[in-house]
Chain A
Amino acid sequence: MQQALEGSQAIARAVALCRPQVISAYPITPQTHIVENLSKLVADGALNAELVSVESEFSAASVALGAVAAGSRAYTATSSQGLLLMAEVLFNIAGLRVPLVMTCANRALSAPLSIWNDQQDSMAVRDAGWVQLYCTDNQDAIDTTIQAYRIAEETELPVMVCMDGFTLTHTLEVLDIPEQAQVEAFLPPFKFARSLDPDKPISVGTLVTPEFFTEARYTHHQALLRATQVIRDVSQEWSAISGRRSGGLLTVSGDATADTGVLTIGAIAGTLEEAIDAHPPGNTARLIKLRAFRPFPEQALREACAGLKRLVVLERALSPGAGGIVGAEVRAALSHLEDPPEVFNFSVGLGGRDVPLETFENLLAAIDKGSGHDFALLDLQPDKLPAEAW
């Protein structure tokens, strides 16, 4: 059903359609509207769930974990500082192979303090062992949220649905909210083989010695790698039901013949897509919108880059002392190709700096000038830099 909704509100509705039994909530800008909307749904009886207003994000993740362990579908959402506070729990959830879906409303990390959008937060926990999917727009976020439960429960891996804070969460637009029946057809009732049951007691969270730890870690790693297929299959299935193209590991659009490609992740893909479409043909670029960051879709990426001479990775985070994060992983993935494209790596829009349509032009100009060979901040304003040493 088409409705004009704020992004957060839409997410709340999508989550409600999946009928989680337990929602844990701790407020943090810009996620707050999601949990507020969910609270209202519960209060109005539109959603039969226990909404646990916890005392920190560490407990939010723990409560959600406990709920799934006890056999209920659960949900929580967070951003930035909250995501880091629950970092310990994230690793724990993934290592225990517990199916949980969480929305991360991407926001910059302190220090310095910022409430505005970049992707440093979810990037900082990329090694936690979760599936990480990045949404390009709010419709994508709705569809991805629903698919996330399916992916999680099939692979027994937790799924983090990343959506840019404010840019997506606080934007009002007309969105299609699926029908309950569609979700019912797509998402079976929650069943978790290792839930805690007095009739079939097991011990979860054991100590594993060096004798078996490698194999334990390996199985987790393999599960994530194989999730690429599940992500693909699930998005196809949902496409059939929803009638929309949605998901997959990545999407290729723009100029199929161009020998320059731009790879990006998150909402700025929309900006770039618009800019590329507006560009005169012949001097545009292939646009690769990366949806799955974990598992890292190596194979799909290589296929998407076939024939490219240059690839510009445009991302929303920075690993201080190293450089780009997505860029580094892309470079590594493409290095096996016989004739890999030259990879340029830029970060843009850190701490919520606006990414305007001109970004595409700026990007092309920058690489022509030779910038970004290793890594550069595309929108750096040097006159704001201090004179003294770093």
Chain B
Amino acid sequence: MGLKITRGSYAEPGTSLAFDTGSWRVQRPVHRHVTAPCHGACPAGEDAQAYLALVEQERYREAWETLVSKNPLPAITGRVCHHPCETACNRGQYDEPIAIHAVERHLGDTAIAEAWDYPIPRPAGDATAVAVVGAGPAGLAAAYHLRRLGYRAQLFEALPEAGGLLRSAIPPYRLPQPVLQAEIEHLLASGIEFHPGQRLGRDFSLQELRAQYPAVFLGPGTQRSRDWAIDSVTPRDLHVGLHLLKEWMDVGSVPDWERVAIVGAGNTAIDLARVLKFSGVPEVHIISHKAIPGPGIPPEDSMPAILREIEQGLDEGVKIHEHRGVQRLILRGEKVVAVELVHMKKLANAAGRLQRVAFEGTESLLEVDQVIPAIGQIVESEGLEALLEQGDYLQADAWGRISGHPGVLTGGDARGDRGTVTEAIGDGRRAADVMDAFIRATAEPAQSEVEQILTYDHLNLNYFAPEPRPAAPTLVVPQRDGAKEIDGGLTTQQVLGEGHRCFSCGNCLACDNCWTLCPDVAVLKTRDVAADGSHYVFDYGYCKGCGLCAHECPTGYIAMQEEP
């Protein structure tokens, strides 16, 4: 060995590095990125934790770029999405969830104001073109993601303008026209070839598209109303909820009614109810066989409408009759003068299927001069007959593939199992990924299993301090007129604050805890972000595997694994 004793047996500094304490380990810490609950809950697949981290560092443009790598319409979704990310947000179990929708909205608005380019390449001259039918959220997203993957996107739309229900059916007090316009223009300008006034069936056929393009995405939405009758009776001047809403959006007014009953429990019902109130209809009733969402109400019994819209509607004077159905129409001549309400719930029958059940003996009369169904739409069959043999919707798998029709995919409301803008956007992305694999005949993308979600108990909350969520300004009821946007946005400072409040679930917060608390000086800090996304490196030459770092990591990003 050659080692010689020194005078007085003194030792040189730092020579302990020769002793490999890493050999003591039976387990080792590893960095393990776990999906944050906001990410897991987003129907469009946005990684909100990732862009909140960038927001916290005031890297707003990069935050927006991260966001639009999944969802190209944040200014819109920040306003209209029901934000399941916030419901899932772990911070909600600590004090109040992060106002993710407000951050998204802010990023979207800023991108438009600053004219940031979408981070997608210009298509090569010889890039393959793919067809997308329908310029609603599903089609817009599909076209965008196909462009992101390097294709030329040919987007066909029956109406003169893009947007679908965004334009025609979401009232301006939720989604102002200028915002919608600006974002759609911004998106189309990124290089999507837009062909308005082209109706499937009338102007071109599905067969032609399939012959001309290697793959086709269909986002036709649900343009046809369901037939509605009560006891086989339909009012002669029947107005279907969605159409009435669209008409109001277009024209700005509604017929002169005194008391209206709307049958339905979704966003259309609520939006219409509020629009009617804003337009001056004195009494507006919603008849819902489901209950207003709240604690103790199971999801299958909750009204599908967005809770905030329901709450604002109630503030504005809309009356909601929960667990009720319309049993009979009371007519005078051809005009409706009342509806007979009955207590009603959807219950599982003997075979386990949910059915509406009316409870005999609970009838009551509600005087109305109009009853409007808002019970949902189905796909307009013109041009899609071949695909609608099974029923009212286009049956598709999780990726959007329509079985029996390779290369033809769908997404959005047309699928029948969707109902929100964000889901439609997610569908567009998923379909684009699969279409890409299909066209290049490569293996399809790995089925994204439900990844592990970073649950609340994996956080170490000793390192966070309670801080309230900022309240965005909201118009008081007397100021609401149906045209002015009701919910305002947060200031940049407040958005930055939300970035600070984010727990960074399952991802490194660069908080220095592991570096500060390691007794064995085995955690080293890097100047730049390390390959695994963290700012720290475990020096396994010395790490003894005590587990302190994992236990004290605030975000649950460090896990202890058995030593290989």
Note whether A and B contact each other (Cβ less than 8 A). Answer: yes
A residues sitting closer than 8 Å to B (CB atoms) are 95-98, 156, 194, 201-206, 208, 212, 215-216, 219
Instruction: Please name the residue on chain B nearest to A201 by beta carbon.
Output: B13
Please state if B8 and A98 are interface contacts (CB–CB under 8 Å).
yes
Please state if A95 and B8 are interface contacts (CB–CB under 8 Å).
yes
Please state if A202 and B12 are interface contacts (CB–CB under 8 Å).
yes
Please state if B7 and A206 are interface contacts (CB–CB under 8 Å).
no
How many CB-defined contacts (below 8 Å) exist between A and B? Answer: 39
Bound CA–CA A349/B329 (angstroms): 133
Query: Is the CB of B5 closer than 8 A to any CB of chain A?
Result: yes
Q: Mark B8-22, 1 if CB is under 8 A from A, else 0.
A: 111111000000000
Please state if B10 and A206 are interface contacts (CB–CB under 8 Å).
yes
> Which secondary structure characterizes the binding site on chain B?
loop
Bound CA–CA A206/B5 (angstroms): 11
Please state if B13 and A194 are interface contacts (CB–CB under 8 Å).
no
Interface extent on B, as a size class?
10 to 19
10 contacts between A and B (CB under 8 A): A95-B8, A97-B7, A97-B8, A202-B10, A202-B11, A202-B13, A204-B8, A208-B5, A215-B4, A219-B5
Q: Which residues of A contact B9 (CB under 8 A)?
A: 95-96, 205-206, 208, 212, 216
Q: Which residues of B contact A194 (CB under 8 A)?
A: 7-8, 10
Q: Which residues of A contact B3 (CB under 8 A)?
A: 212
Please state if A204 and B5 are interface contacts (CB–CB under 8 Å).
no
Q: Which residues of A contact B10 (CB under 8 A)?
A: 194, 202-206
Please state if B7 and A219 are interface contacts (CB–CB under 8 Å).
yes
Bound CA–CA A325/B372 (angstroms): 120
> Which secondary structure characterizes the binding site on chain A?
loop
CB of A79 to closest CB in B, whole Å: 27
Bound CA–CA A381/B5 (angstroms): 53
Bound CA–CA A382/B51 (angstroms): 101
Bound CA–CA A318/B430 (angstroms): 99
Bound CA–CA A205/B5 (angstroms): 13
Please state if A156 and B11 are interface contacts (CB–CB under 8 Å).
no
Besides A98-B8, A202-B12, A215-B4, 9 other A-B contacts (C-beta < 8 A): A96-B8, A96-B9, A97-B7, A194-B7, A203-B12, A204-B10, A216-B9, A219-B5, A219-B7
What are the 7 closest A-B residue pairs judged by CB atoms, nearest first? Answer: A97-B8, A203-B11, A215-B5, A96-B8, A201-B13, A204-B10, A216-B5
Bound CA–CA A204/B6 (angstroms): 10
A156-B5 contact, Cβ under 8 Å, with A201-B13, A202-B12, A202-B13: no
Q: Which residues of A contact B11 (CB under 8 A)?
A: 202-203, 206
Bound CA–CA A204/B9 (angstroms): 7
B window 463-480: CB within 8 A of A: none
Q: Which residues of A contact B5 (CB under 8 A)?
A: 208, 212, 215-216, 219
Q: Mark B293-312, 1 if CB is under 8 A from A, else 0.
A: 00000000000000000000
Q: Which residues of A contact B7 (CB under 8 A)?
A: 97, 156, 194, 219
Bound CA–CA A215/B7 (angstroms): 10
CB of A204 to closest CB in B, whole Å: 5
Q: Which residues of B contact A206 (CB under 8 A)?
A: 9-11
Bound CA–CA A126/B317 (angstroms): 103
Bound CA–CA A95/B12 (angstroms): 18
Instruction: Please name the residue on chain A nearest to B7 by beta carbon.
Output: A97
Instruction: Please name the residue on chain A nearest to B3 by beta carbon.
Output: A212
Instruction: Please name the residue on chain B nearest to A202 by beta carbon.
Output: B10
Q: Which residues of A contact B13 (CB under 8 A)?
A: 201-203
Bound CA–CA A212/B11 (angstroms): 13
Bound CA–CA A203/B7 (angstroms): 12
Instruction: Please name the residue on chain A nearest to B16 by beta carbon.
Output: A203
B window 535-557: CB within 8 A of A: none
Instruction: Please name the residue on chain A nearest to B1 by beta carbon.
Output: A211
Bound CA–CA A209/B12 (angstroms): 17
CB of B1 to closest CB in A, whole Å: 9
Q: Which residues of A contact B8 (CB under 8 A)?
A: 95-98, 156, 194, 204
Bound CA–CA A159/B7 (angstroms): 17
Instruction: Please name the residue on chain A nearest to B8 by beta carbon.
Output: A97
Instruction: Please name the residue on chain B nearest to A94 by beta carbon.
Output: B8
